[in-house]
Amino acid sequence: MTTTGPELGLLLREFYTRQYGLIDRGAAEECAATFAADATLVRNAGSARMRAAGASPVHRGRAGIARALARTVRRRADAGVVRRHFVGPLTYERTDADTVRTRYYLLVVDTGADGPGLRSSCVVRDVLTGSDGRWLTRHRTIDHDETAAPATKGSPAMTSSPGPEAVLRIASGVRQAQVLFTALELGVFDALAEGPLSAAELADRHGLHPRAVRDLLAALHALGLLERDFDGYRLAPAADTYLVRGRPAHLGGFLAFLDGVLHPAWRGLTESVRTGQAVRAGDPYDGLYDSAADRDGFLDAMDVLNSPLAAQLAEYDWHRYRSFVDVGGARGNLAAQIAKAHPGLDARVFDLPGLRPAFDRHMAALGLTGAVSFTAGDFFADPLPAADVVIFGHVLHNWPEERRDVLLAKAYEAVSPGGSVLVYDPMIDEHRPQLPNVLASLNMLVWSEGGSEYPVGDLRARLFAAGFATVTASRIGATGTLVAARKAA
Ligand SMILES: C[S@@+](CC[C@H](N)C(=O)[O-])C[C@H]1O[C@@H](n2cnc3c(N)ncnc32)[C@H](O)[C@@H]1O
């Protein structure tokens, strides 16, 4: 190809920067507008994989290209992937006053939860029409390098079609979880905490079926929860730390809550997705504290989730404030850690009356009796205690939007002038939704009538509507967002 001067090259690069930038941002329609109305886009015409899948490699017309781009954007969003296109070495040729032919290498990089990875390396050939700087792509051919790479063994269709492993791994998740819950229920980890056992010994001791125990232990071994040697099975470090009753980091209450309350609700996900309704209508906290086992399991679960956040919140700039109230603060785990780090603060938890005994016990266990006060009440029926800072941690996502507004209005009343409200939840990044946050939102869907995770922008608008002035957001924990909003002095 011939080149016709550096300025044309610069203008072409500007064109591609804009065109690929639009699709990287998810603007499928706008990107399609950079193609001529009668454009054609041909992808991997020689690809055995596309032939095998019966997929058409050709998209015709701007509307057809827009649909194809929109599908790609949707798939990316569903997979929680950020995509970037990098245009490499470019050659070009002006074939007449209105037409330029280009050829360039294109690298496509996807960044997901596991970090960045090269998705494809291609050669692109374009025919552009129009005058300098105002081009439209009339024809584009994209050839992925693997379609040009020499075939190895097997038929082309067999070597390029994806295996079913990814689907099967997801489908077997429920069985893996059940292996863990059954082992907990049968006391397998507690038994092995006393020393290694063979499958036959465990079966004998607990009156279980020998062949079934052999398979259960083998599955726990394959899952990395048990180790195996000549003496039989012993606990792997994670099981030793988290799955033995009575150990400080025991997750039994949390797992019992998952198994006994949350997962049964997940069986109704299909219906909830149809209707938008939780599996059990009404307030999820009605009756939750009636049984000590359910209450303690729930509180254990909350503390597993809030403990890593508490350390971070304790580092908040508390020196400007004299008091805080943790609304829906459960048995006071988070409030206790802030109070411990800042003994001068007047620290308070506001929660349902049924949690007062659990709160007293937890404070005594932490050696912090008297460091945090407890106000019993219903945050929809009662006013919130006045304080410089009101905290809503994992609270707003339990409720429908109109009830979130009620709580934020009450917080505005309770916060002193110059004070703040702090909100943390696993909020949703709409452009790059993360799997744990989306699963948390589905938890709310099935368990908590009208609850869901939500984008920061949505909360920001609600906070402004409630009267708060400045609003800032930051990350908290692995997947959480902390939003702080100030009330004018
Ligand atoms: C999901 S938990 C969050 C606990 C804690 N803030 C955390 O981050 O782990 C929600 C809390 O809100 C409390 N709660 C629910 N309904 C309430 C109500 N009407 N009034 C006061 N507290 C309520 C629950 O008892 C529970 O402790």
What's 92's domain CATH number? 3.10.450.50
| SS3 category, 288 | coil
Phi first, then psi, for residue 88 (nearest 5°) are: -95, -150
Pairing of strands 99-112, 115-129: antiparallel
Phi first, then psi, for residue 303 (nearest 5°) are: -70, -30
Nearest Cα residue to atom 27 of ligand 1: 330
* C-alpha to C-alpha distances, 161 to 34, 79, 151, 215, nearest whole angstrom: 32, 19, 13, 33
177 shares its domain with 277: no
433 shares its domain with 341: yes
* Interatomic CA distance for residues 142 and 31, integer angstroms: 16
Q: Is residue 220 part of a domain?
A: yes
Q: Of 161, 185, 206, which one is at a domain's C-terminal end?
A: 161
pLDDT at 248: 82
409 shares its domain with 327: yes
Q: Is residue 263 part of a domain?
A: no
352 lines ligand 1 (CB under 6 A): yes
Three-class secondary structure assignment of 309-372: HHHHHHCCCHHHCCEEEEECCCCCHHHHHHHHHCCCCEEEEEECHHHHHHHHHHHHHHCCCCCE
Q: Of 107, 132, 161, which one is at a domain's C-terminal end?
A: 161
Distance between Cα 302 and ligand 1 center (Å): 9
349 shares its domain with 396: yes
Distance between Cα 285 and ligand 1 center (Å): 8
Count of helices and strands (H, E) across the chain: 21, 15
The residues of the chain scoring below 50 in pLDDT are 1-3, 154-159
User: Is the pTM higher than 0.85?
Assistant: no
Question: Of all atoms in ligand 1, which is nearest to the CA of residue 395?
Answer: 10
pLDDT at 154: 46
Q: Is residue 362 part of a domain?
A: yes
378 lines ligand 1 (CB under 6 A): yes
Reported as type and span, the H/E element at residue 217 is: helix 210-222
Residue 402: CATH number of its domain: 3.40.50.150
Q: Whose structure tokens read 């998810």?
A: 26
306 lines ligand 1 (CB under 6 A): yes
pLDDT at 6: 59
Question: Of all atoms in ligand 1, which is nearest to the CA of residue 303?
Answer: 9
The answer to whether residues 58 and 42 touch, using CB atoms and an 8 Å cutoff, is: yes
Q: Is residue 261 part of a domain?
A: no
pLDDT at 158: 43
pLDDT at 131: 67
136 shares its domain with 202: no
Q: Of 161, 184, 218, which one is at a domain's C-terminal end?
A: 161
222 shares its domain with 190: yes
Q: Is residue 433 part of a domain?
A: yes
| SS3 category, 141 | strand
The answer to whether residues 15 and 133 touch, using CB atoms and an 8 Å cutoff, is: yes
pLDDT at 299: 93
Please indicate whether residue 397 is annotated as part of the active site. Answer: yes
329 lines ligand 1 (CB under 6 A): yes
Q: Is residue 259 part of a domain?
A: no
What sign has the CA pseudo-torsion 314, 316, 321, 325?
negative
User: What domain range is 145 assigned to?
Assistant: 6-161
Tally the domains of the chain: 3
285 shares its domain with 386: yes
Mutate to test the pocket of ligand 1, among 351, 384, 404 (most ligand atoms within 8 A of CB): 351
45 shares its domain with 178: no
* Interatomic CA distance for residues 102 and 129, integer angstroms: 11
Size (the chain), residues: 489
285 lines ligand 1 (CB under 6 A): yes
Q: Which of 209, 362, 397, 431 is catalytic?
A: 397
Q: Is residue 218 part of a domain?
A: yes
196 shares its domain with 289: no
362 lines ligand 1 (CB under 6 A): no
Mutate to test the pocket of ligand 1, among 257, 283, 286, 302 (most ligand atoms within 8 A of CB): 302
Predicted confidence (pLDDT) per residue in 353-408, tens digit = 999 999 999 999 999 999 999 999 999 999 999 999 999 999 999 999 999 999 99
Q: Is residue 274 part of a domain?
A: yes
140 shares its domain with 188: no
pLDDT at 75: 86
Residue 183: CATH number of its domain: 1.10.10.10
51 shares its domain with 92: yes
Report which of 186, 188, 185 is spatially closest to residue 236, judged by C-alpha positions: 188
Where does residue 264 fall: left (phi above 0), alpha (psi -120 to 50 degrees), or beta otherwise? alpha
180 shares its domain with 296: no
31 lines ligand 1 (CB under 6 A): no
